[in-house]
């Protein structure tokens, strides 16, 4: 069993993934990976893994995810389609938030590779009852809906804003893992 750093779903999130010895991974290529949310695509970071990292990882991780195979042209086409669906979901959801008059700032949407779920990240200064919104969205998109409230640092990180010091926010320049 070997390990590689994989950037999940082309986000900032980088995690260690295991893969079979028979699978030949190369940096800067795209792979199909197993995540806690199902199958997705990931980009292999060009970082070597030491045995020390491997032992530490195996000791602290309860659930281990793996690289399944290199992405095919069909996978890339499917990912492009899900990115388009994510954009549509964002626009529709923005209108629904306005309709329900919710104090929510929608940050982004992520339509999962297998189409089993749509994740909506939002920011709000208060707790929000969004059950009616979820019901509307589930009726429109016919898939599982998950809304995730992020804190002010995560919100700032998404937009690479400038702090009072004149430099980008520290939280937007640091990798999450």
Domain boundaries of the chain, sorted by first residue: 2-71, 77-159
**What is the mean predicted confidence (pLDDT) over 98-113?**
90
- Residue 101: the pLDDT is 93
Report in angstroms the alpha-carbon separations of 39 from 8, 32, 128, 134. 10, 7, 30, 23
Contacts of 141 (CB under 8 A, 6+ apart): 89, 118
- Residue 54: the pLDDT is 58
pLDDT at 64 over 70: no
- Residue 177: the pLDDT is 41
- Residue 176: the pLDDT is 47
| CB 32 within 8 Å of CB 75 | yes
pLDDT at 86 over 60: yes
Report in angstroms the alpha-carbon separations of 142 from 24, 72, 75, 97, 138. 38, 27, 22, 18, 5
**What is the mean predicted confidence (pLDDT) over 76-89?**
92
| CB 25 within 8 Å of CB 17 | no
**What is the mean predicted confidence (pLDDT) over 81-99?**
93
Confidence category of residue 72, pLDDT binned at 50, 70, 90: very high
Domain 77-159, CATH? 3.30.300
- Residue 70: the pLDDT is 92
- Residue 75: the pLDDT is 93
The answer to whether the predicted template modeling score (pTM) of the entire model surpasses 0.85 is no
- Residue 39: the pLDDT is 85
β-sheet bridge partners, residue 31: 42, 70
Contacts of 20 (CB under 8 A, 6+ apart): 1, 2, 66
Contacts of 120 (CB under 8 A, 6+ apart): 89, 93, 106, 108, 109, 137, 145, 146, 147, 148
Tens-place pLDDT, residues 8-61: 765 666 777 778 888 888 888 889 988 877 888 888 877 655 555 556 655 555
**What is the mean predicted confidence (pLDDT) over 95-108?**
92
Looking at per-residue pLDDT, the higher value among 57 and 100 belongs to: 100
pLDDT at 124 over 80: yes
Question: Which two structure tokens, joined as six digits, stand for 170?
Answer: 């520290």
């Amino acid at each position: 069993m070997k390990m590689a750093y994989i950037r999940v779903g082309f986000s900032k999130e980088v995690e260690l993934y295991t893969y079979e010895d028979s699978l030949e991974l190369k940096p800067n290529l795209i792979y199909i990976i197993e995540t806690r949310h199902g199958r997705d695509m990931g980009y292999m970071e060009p970082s070597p893994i030491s045995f020390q990292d491997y032992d530490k990882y195996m000791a602290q991780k309860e659930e281990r995810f793996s690289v399944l195979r290199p992405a095919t042209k069909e996978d890339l086409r499917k990912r492009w389609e899900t990115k388009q669906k994510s954009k549509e979901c964002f626009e529709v959801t923005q209108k629904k938030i306005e309709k329900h008059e919710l104090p929510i700032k929608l940050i982004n949407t992520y339509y999962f590779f297998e189409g089993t779920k749509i994740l909506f990240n939002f920011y709000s200064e208060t707790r929000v009852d969004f059950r009616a919104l979820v019901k509307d969205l589930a009726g429109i998109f016919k898939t599982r809906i998950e809304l995730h409230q992020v804190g002010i640092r995560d919100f700032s990180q998404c937009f690479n804003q400038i702090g009072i010091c004149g430099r980008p926010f520290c939280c937007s320049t640091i990798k999450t893992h």
